[in-house]
Amino acid sequence: MLDKQELEQNVKENKYIVFRLLDEEYGVEVNQVRSIERMQRITRVPRTPGFVKGVINLRGVVTPIIDLKTRFGLGEENYTETTRIIIVATDEMEVGLIVDSANDVIDISTDSIEPPPEVVGGIRAAYLEGVAKLQDRLLILLNLDKVLNSEELQQLGGMEK
């Protein structure tokens, strides 16, 4: 009895926001997403790594913006009509992620998530939570805590004190 209950709890479903970088689909857990914004003018912040595009005024809160493609080394920025900024929040930290498009919310059951392979599309496995296999698509689930590691930001950018 008890085992079965536990089992059911373990395979519970989580909602994920699906977004696209180039040809691949990624997911972040919906409870980490604050909002999805259209592209807007970003104020450049000097002396930060290239993937930090700058800051925007998000309803009165100055929010840093990261270009996720540049972050993952997936090529140059190329902003179009579909480009979106996904505002995510972890550990009291709010950051906007620039993605090529964002238009889907899906349920993924935990048992369909597999540990990440060593390299996915050039992204280091450390940034990944896992890979979710759905019928005909593969969804790369991000580990936001790793992606938004600000210690690494300082090392990478060689930000001067």
Q: What string marks each residue from 3 to 32 as x (binds another protein by CB under 8 A) or -?
A: ------------------------------
Tokens for 39? 């592209």
Nearest one of 136, 117, 140, 157 to 19, comparing CA atoms: 140
Please tell me whether residue 39 binds another protein under the rule CB under 8 A: no
Distance separating alpha carbons of residues 6 and 47, to the nearest angstrom: 50
Which DSSP state fits 117? P
Instruction: List binders of another protein among 42-81 (CB under 8 A).
Output: 43-48, 52, 54-57, 59-64
CB of 152 to another protein, least distance (A): 10
Could you tell me which stretch among 7-15, 25-33, 102-110, 145-153 binds another protein (CB under 8 A)?
145-153
CB of 46 to another protein, least distance (A): 3
> Are 87 and 72 a contacting pair, CB within 8 Å?
no
> Are 95 and 88 a contacting pair, CB within 8 Å?
yes
- List Cα–Cα distances, 53 to 56, 98, 111, 125, in angstroms: 9, 9, 36, 23
Distance separating alpha carbons of residues 56 and 62, to the nearest angstrom: 6
Instruction: List binders of another protein among 87-106 (CB under 8 A).
Output: 91-95
CB of 106 to another protein, least distance (A): 27
Please tell me whether residue 154 binds another protein under the rule CB under 8 A: yes
Contacting residues toward another protein, per CB under 8 A: 41, 43-48, 52, 54-57, 59-64, 91-95, 148, 150-151, 153-154, 159-161
